[in-house]
Chains A and B, each alone.
Chain A
C-alpha cells in the first residue's frame, strides 16, 4: 500500500541519459523527456544544442551547468545539468530538477534587484533635483544681484528728483514710484537672502550690542507703522533682560521685523503685541523669549505647517502681495542662530509667534551712555522731546541717541500741519525742529509757535536741526526765536549737550 501511495506522490527529480559523440541518445530513463532514445539530444531543448561541441572532447571531463530553465514533456523545470565524459565515445548527462530550491532563490533575487534598482532611480532623481535646485539658487542670486544695481539707481534719482521743484500732482506720482521701487527692493533682498540661506552662504556676524537700545528703537519704528494702519502697538519688555549681548543685531531685526510686518499686514483692526522676556541665563548665555501676537485674520490649522515654506502664501486672495518668503527667511535665520520658533493661530482671531534665541552675554563693554559733562541734577525723571522731521534717517538717529539715555520720551511729527495741535496736546519740554520741511520751513513754524496764546507753550525751547548754517541762515533762525542750532550731521555728544542746555 505504501508503495502505491509513494508512487502517486513521487515526482521524478532526476534523469540520466547516455549520449554518443554524435549527440545521439543511446539510453534514457525518460524522467522528464520520454521516448527519446535514438534521437539527437539537440531535439530536446536548445540547451543541448549549444553543448554538442563539448561531446567530442577528451575523456573524463565533467561540466556542471546550474540553474537551467528547461521546458520538458509536461512541465517547466529549473535544473542543474551535469555532463560527464568517460571515453571518447560516450557521455553521461544528468538532469537534476531543483525547481523548488530555485523558486525560492527567484523570490529573493526579485526583491533584491527591485530594491537596488529603486534606490538607484531614487538617487538619480535626487541628484537631478539637487542640480536643479543649485541652478535655481545661483540663477536667483546672480539675477537679483544684477537687478539691484539699476534699482538703486532709480531709488537714488527718485530721491534727488523729489528735492526739485515739483507740483503736487508730480509729487504724488513720485511717491508712487518711490513706494513701488522700495517694495521691489525689499522683495529682491528677500529673494537674495533665501537663496543665500539655501546654498549655505548666509553668515551671521557677532557684534556686541545694547539690547534695550535695540528694542526701544525697534518698538519705535513699528509703533509708527502699526499706528499708520490704525492698529494699537503694545509691548512688554522684561526688566531682567541683559543690557549688552553678542549676536547679529541686523538679522535679529530682520526676524522680528518680518514677523511684525507680517502681523501688521494681516491685521485690519485690533492690536499688535511684542513681548520680550528672559528665559534664563546659563553658561554666560542668555536665552531670550520673543512673542509677537496679532488680532488678524489668523491661519487655519491645516495650513499652519506651510507658513514657513518658501513661496507659500496661505492667504491666496492676492489681497496681500509679497514674495511669501518672509517667514521662510525667519525660520531659516532662527535655526542659523540655533533658536526655535513656533506658531499658534486661531482662524479669524489672530496669530502668535513665539521664539527663543540665545545670545552670549557681553560683560566687557560698559553701558555706553554718554556722560554729559557731570550733568546737573535734572528736575524730572523723563523729558518729553518733540521732533519735527520727515527724514527717516534723522528720526532714527535722534531716537537711537535719546533711547540710550533712558531719560526721554520722543514723539515725532512728520506733517507740519499737525504740529500746533500736537504741541497743545503733548506739551513737550523741547522741540527739535528740522528746517527743510514739506511746504514750509522750520523757522516759519517756530514763528507760529512763538505766537501761541498759551504762555508755557510759546516758550518751549526750539532747537533747529539743519545742515543750513550759513550766517544768513543763522540770522533767520534767531529772528524766528529759535533757541539753538544743532548742525547736521550731528553726533551723539553735540545733540545731547545742546538738549541738556535747555532741560529744566
Chain B
C-alpha cells in the first residue's frame, strides 16, 4: 500500500529547514545559504515495513520569524509538521513555547516534531544547560551537516502519520 502525506517544515529563516530536507531526500549538504522564498515541494518515499511505504510530500516553507505570518494556504491539507529551530541562535527558539501553542491552537491534532538543528555546532553541555529553555519541547537534536538524526526524524514522523 502506498499513500502520500503532506508535511510542512516551519521555523525561522536560516535554521536549516531546506538543509534537513536536502539531506533527507538527496543525502547532500552545502554550507551556502540560499534563502527559500515561497515554498519548494519535494517528494520522498519512506519504507515503513516491507509492505508499507509512505510518500512524503515535503513542503519546505520560507522561513519566518513570526509564525503567525505563515501563509494559511500552505498549511491546507497538512498531515504532519516539523518545527525547526537553530541551536546556535537564541532568537530562533526564544518564542518556542508560544509558537508551539499557536500551532496547536490553529492546527489541532496534527502531529508535530520539534527539532533543534545544527547540533554539530554546540556541545552536549550546552544542550543540558538549556534544558529548561527548549529541552522539554524538543523531539530531535539534528545536524543536517553531520547527518545526525535526520532520517530518524522523518521516518518517525512518517510512521506516526500512518498509524
A-to-B contact residues, CB < 8 Å: 45-47, 49-51, 53-54, 63-69, 78, 102, 105-106, 109-110, 113-114, 116-117, 120-121, 124
Instruction: Tell me if B74 counts as interface (CB < 8 A to partner A).
Output: yes
Q: When the two chains form their complex, are residues B35 and A66 in contact, meaning their CB atoms are under 8 A apart?
A: no
CB neighbours of B91 from chain A (8 A): 120
Q: When the two chains form their complex, are residues A106 and B77 in contact, meaning their CB atoms are under 8 A apart?
A: no
Q: When the two chains form their complex, are residues A63 and B73 in contact, meaning their CB atoms are under 8 A apart?
A: yes
CB neighbours of B76 from chain A (8 A): 51, 54, 63
CB neighbours of A51 from chain B (8 A): 76-77
Q: A46-B41, A69-B39 are in contact. Are A53 and B34 (CB under 8 A)?
A: no
CB neighbours of A46 from chain B (8 A): 41-43, 57
Q: A49-B43, A69-B39 are in contact. Are A113 and B73 (CB under 8 A)?
A: no
CB neighbours of B14 from chain A (8 A): 113, 117
B120 CB to nearest chain A CB (Å): 16
Instruction: Tell me if B40 counts as interface (CB < 8 A to partner A).
Output: yes
**Size class of B's contact patch?**
20 to 34
Nearest chain-A residue to B74 (Cβ)?
Answer: A65
Q: When the two chains form their complex, are residues B35 and A113 in contact, meaning their CB atoms are under 8 A apart?
A: yes
Q: When the two chains form their complex, are residues B38 and A67 in contact, meaning their CB atoms are under 8 A apart?
A: yes
Interface residues of B in 61-90 (CB under 8 A from A): 62-63, 65, 71, 73-74, 76-77, 88-90
* Contacts beyond the supplied A66-B38, A102-B37, A117-B33: 17 A-B pairs with Cβ under 8 Å: A47-B41, A49-B55, A50-B6, A50-B41, A50-B59, A66-B73, A67-B37, A67-B38, A68-B39, A69-B39, A113-B13, A113-B14, A113-B33, A113-B63, A114-B35, A121-B88, A121-B89
A51 to B41, CA, bound (A): 12
B8 CB to nearest chain A CB (Å): 10
Q: Which 9 pairs from chain A and chain B are nearest by CB? A: A67-B38, A46-B43, A50-B6, A50-B57, A110-B35, A113-B13, A109-B35, A53-B77, A46-B41
Nearest chain-A residue to B78 (Cβ)?
Answer: A50
A120 to B14, CA, bound (A): 12
A113 to B63, CA, bound (A): 9
CB neighbours of A53 from chain B (8 A): 77
Q: A50-B57, A124-B89, A124-B90 are in contact. Are A102 and B77 (CB under 8 A)?
A: no
